[in-house]
Amino acid sequence: MELGDYLRTLRARWLTVVVVALVTLAAIAAATLLMTPQYTSSTRMFFAVQGGESVSDLAQGSTFTEKQMSSYAEVARSPIVLEPVAESFGLDRDASSLTDALSVTVAADTTILVISATDEDPVLARDLANAVADELAATVGGLSPERPDGTETVRATMLSEAQVPESPSSPNTMRNLALGLVLGVLLGVGVALLRQVLDTKVRDENDISAVTDVSPLATVPIDTTATDHPVFMHDESMGARAEAVRRLRTNLQFVDFGDRPSSIVVTSSVPGEGKTTTAINLAASLADAGAKVILIDADLRRPSVAKYMGFEGRVGLTTVLIGRANVEDVVQPWQGTSLDILPSGQIPPNPSELLGSRAMSRLLADLASTYDVVLIDSPPLLPVTDAAILSKLVGGTLVVAGADRLQKPQLRTSLEALAKVAHPNPGCSRGLNPPTSRSDRAM
């Protein structure tokens, strides 16, 4: 994926990013509220060598003390200091557990030691820090060599006593929330990208481009109410869907259909992608442009053209193919336009055999000589072979891909099936029918 692909994915899946970010933020906020507040109090101690009769002695003493500071920090956390402190407070803790409550650090390039104590009781945190400082001062004095006058060589002086903290040191609510938001956004982006990688549905033109190198001829929005008014070319002649079908009609003029330019099969990969609605409205649009058009319902398994257009469909294509009627006797004109409809007729027990028969081939040839355009609504490609059989008899195949309804492998398999049996440029005409919203789907 390139940068543009990532950006498109995030735009398409922004809701995933937002939801994951909010859930993560809420979880961290809840965890923060459930944490027991901890209070930290600190004291500062200054260490210095006593005496010294010259500047050189003082400098040497300062250097000596600096070198000993790390040792004094360790002493502050050792049992020799902490056990007396624990006993003096009557704490039910040993020296090792008390160590966890202490932080002892040396201020850089100084002889100052910072002793911090943390506890859920702010008063106890203060008292622990001061008690450790007092005990450390006494211990260091006892450990350092004595001077000739009997005084300790190193003296520890408390620079500032620990105070009762007014606010907890942890949890840091604002920091946790900020980190939670950043983490949530990162997780949301990761989840969105993972969903995109795992998502095999056809959702837009880019997904079609990932399957084939032929661009869609048009994008026709389809809503869930299309079955109530399927001929939107007339019901909504100024709408976006009608304009999209006109664009499809225009783009079809630039497609090479070989030696049979007037006959086109309209199909899809699976049921429910909108092929019948597309075929009906494309036929109506071609008729509006002045072409003499016939729309054949060759879906002999689940015919719906007659129902959508308000015709009686018991007599039609199958009646002609079995020789019980002439085509001109069963063709029905539509609303006084140059569009004629050939319904499916009765559902036969052998649809594939009828559609692949010589009678069907002769019928299409006769209709091509009579009409400017012959449109054939066929069953989907994957469940049955009817559309593939018909594609051998016509100049081109218009494949309708229903957004959020079709899987990429299904579209790929459909186009491969056409390439094996159809004209040299199978599937050269393709329509993508994305819903107008995520809750909508193609018919």
pLDDT confidence bin for 87, thresholds 50/70/90? confident
Measured between alpha carbons, how far is 34 from 113 in angstroms, rounded to an integer?
Answer: 34
Quickly state the pLDDT bin for 258 (edges 50, 70, 90): low
Of the candidates 297, 280, 296, the one whose C-alpha atom is nearest the C-alpha of residue 288 is 280
Q: What is the pLDDT of residue 315?
A: 93
**pLDDT range class, residue 422, cuts 50, 70, 90:** low
* Number of domains making up the chain: 3
Q: What is the pLDDT of residue 442?
A: 33
What is the Cα–Cα distance from 40 to 167, expressed in whole angstroms? 9
Is there a domain that residue 442 lies in? no
Burial class of residue 87 (count of CB atoms within 10 Å of its CB; 0-12, 13-18, 19+): exposed
In the structure encoding, which two tokens stand for residue 261, read together? 């330019």
**Average pLDDT of span 292-309:** 94
Residues 193 and 81 in one domain: no
pLDDT confidence band for 204 (50 / 70 / 90): confident
384, pLDDT greater than 70: yes
Q: Burial code of 202-226, b = ≥16 C-beta within 10 A, e = fewer?
A: bbebebbeebbebebbbbbbbbeeb
Range(s) of the domain holding residue 134: 39-160
210 and 354 fall within a common domain: yes
Residues 291 and 403 in one domain: yes
Beta partners for residue 160, in sequence order: 44
- The domain that holds 55 is classified in CATH as 3.30.70.1130
Q: Do 87 and 2 form a contact (C-beta atoms < 8 A)?
A: no
In a domain, 321, yes or no: yes
233 with 285, same domain? yes
Q: What is the pLDDT of residue 389?
A: 92
Q: Are residues 133 and 279 in the same domain?
A: no
Interatomic CA distance for residues 385 and 374, integer angstroms: 20
Mean pLDDT of 58-67: 78
- Is pLDDT of 360 > 70? yes
- pLDDT tens per residue, range 394-412: 988 899 988 888 888 898 8
Cα-trace Rg, the chain: 42
Average pLDDT on 214-240 reads 77
Burial class (CB in 10 A: 0-12, 13-18, 19+), 234: middle
Mean pLDDT of 17-31: 95
Pick the range with the lowest mean pLDDT from 92-101, 345-354, 407-416, 427-436: 427-436
Q: Which residue from 70, 81, 144, 152 is spatially nearest to 110, judged by alpha carbons?
A: 70
For the residues 227-256, what does the mean pLDDT come to? 83
Residue 296 within a domain: yes
Same domain, 222 and 296: yes
291 and 364 belong to one structural domain:
yes
Mean pLDDT of 347-355: 93
* 338 and 398 fall within a common domain: yes
How confident is residue 209, by pLDDT bands cut at 50, 70 and 90? confident
CATH (domain of 264): 3.40.50.300
Question: Is 333 within a domain?
Answer: yes
pLDDT value at 190 more than 80 = yes
Does the pLDDT of residue 234 top 50, yes or no?
yes
Mutual orientation of helices 240-252 and 275-288 as an angle, nearest 10°? 70
Same domain, 391 and 406: yes
Residue 430 above 60 pLDDT? no
- The whole-number pLDDT of residue 423 equals 52
Shared domain for 331 and 368, answered yes or no, is: yes
Please tell me the distance from the alpha carbon of residue 247 to that of residue 229, in angstroms, as a whole number. Answer: 20
State the pLDDT confidence band at 136, using cuts at 50, 70 and 90.
Answer: very high
Task: Report pLDDT for 196.
Answer: 80
What was the pLDDT predicted at 353?
A: 94
pLDDT of residue 20: 96
Q: Note whether residue 441 is domain-resident.
A: no
* Torsion angles phi and psi, residue 49, rounded to 5: -80, 135
Angle formed at CA 382 by CA 378 and CA 387, multiple of 5 degrees = 25
Claim to verify: residue 426 and residue 282 sit in the same structural domain: yes
- Helices (DSSP H) in 212-274: which residue ranges? 232-235, 240-252
- Under the banding of pLDDT at 50, 70 and 90, the label for residue 424 is very low
- For residue 405, give every residue at least 6 positions away whose Cβ sits within 8 Å of its Cβ, in sequence order, or none: 201, 202, 270, 272, 273, 441, 442
Q: What is the pLDDT of residues 37-56, one digit of tens each?
A: 999 999 999 998 876 666 56
Is there a single domain that holds both residue 145 and residue 264? Answer: no
Q: Of 352, 376, 407, 413, give the one whose Cα is nearest residue 295.
A: 376
Place of tokens 């704490």: 91
Kindly state whether residue 392 falls inside one of the protein's structural domains: yes
At 319, list the tokens: 């009646």
Instruction: Give the pLDDT of residue 231.
Output: 83
Tell whether 29 is covered by a domain: yes
443 within domain boundaries: no
